Each structure stands twice: as structure tokens, then as C-alpha cells.
Amino acid sequence: MRGRDSKSGRLLMRETMTEKFICPICKSEAELINVGLFDGIGVRCKTHGEFEVADSVLAVHKDTEAARWEAALNSAKDKAKAAQQTWPRITTYDF
Ligand SMILES: [Zn+2]
């Protein structure tokens, strides 16, 4: 039960997969969701719902203020509605 490196390593990995994630918009606790074949991540936030964020956006807009993120999310939501996508996908074009 204790002191086994291999076991704790495995537990750690499982924990990483269901990792708590910080919402890039409001910086509160969110969940990572699996979005499949997409160059980015899916976020489930209590405040902002479910949305996708491209890796390039995370790289560029890590320190961008929440108001601009929310505007980008709204832009992505409009596009998702028009394209009948399940989730809004925030790309660098939304900022
Ligand atoms: Zn949020």
C-alpha cells in the first residue's frame, strides 16, 4: 500500500488525466475535457460552460485580460452557432 514507487507513479498519472484545470478566462477551477482530434484543449468551466481553445491561443493569450477572453468566447460562440458546431472554439482570430 505504501512506499511503492511504481504504484504512486501510476496514481499520479491517473490524476493527471482527470486533472483540474484553470479556466483561461476567469482563472477559476475548471475541467479539461477530451475534444479528440483538435490542436487544443476543451474546457468545462462553471461560469463559461464548455468551449475549446486552440493551443496557439493559450500560448499567445495566457496573460490576456478576462474581458478580451470573454469577447473572444462570444465571437467563437457566434461562429459555432453559424457552423452548427457542438462547442465554441476560440482561435487567435477571435481576439
Ligand atoms: Zn471560466
- Residue 43 CA to ligand 1 center (angstroms) comes to 9
Distance (Å, whole) CA 91 – CA 17: 24
Is the pLDDT higher at 7 or at 36? 36
CA of 47 to the centre of ligand 1 (A): 5
Summary mean pLDDT of the chain: 84
The answer to whether 62 touches 69, Cβ cutoff 8 Å, is no
Domain locations in the chain as residue ranges: 21-94
Residue 19's pLDDT is: 62
Model confidence at 8, in pLDDT bands (50, 70, 90)? very low
Ion ligand 1 neighbours (CB, 5 A) are 23, 25-26, 45, 47-48
Segment 10-54, tens digit of pLDDT: 455 444 455 678 999 999 999 998 777 778 999 999 999 999 999
- C-alpha of residue 44 to centroid of ligand 1, in Å: 8
Per-state percent for the chain, helix, strand, coil, to nearest 5: 40, 25, 35
Query: pLDDT digits over 45-90, tens only?
Result: 999 999 999 999 999 999 999 999 999 999 999 999 999 988 899 9
The rounded Å distance from CA 16 to ligand 1 centre is 20
Q: Which long-range contacts (CB under 8 A, 24 or more apart) does 26-30 make?
A: 26/66, 27/66
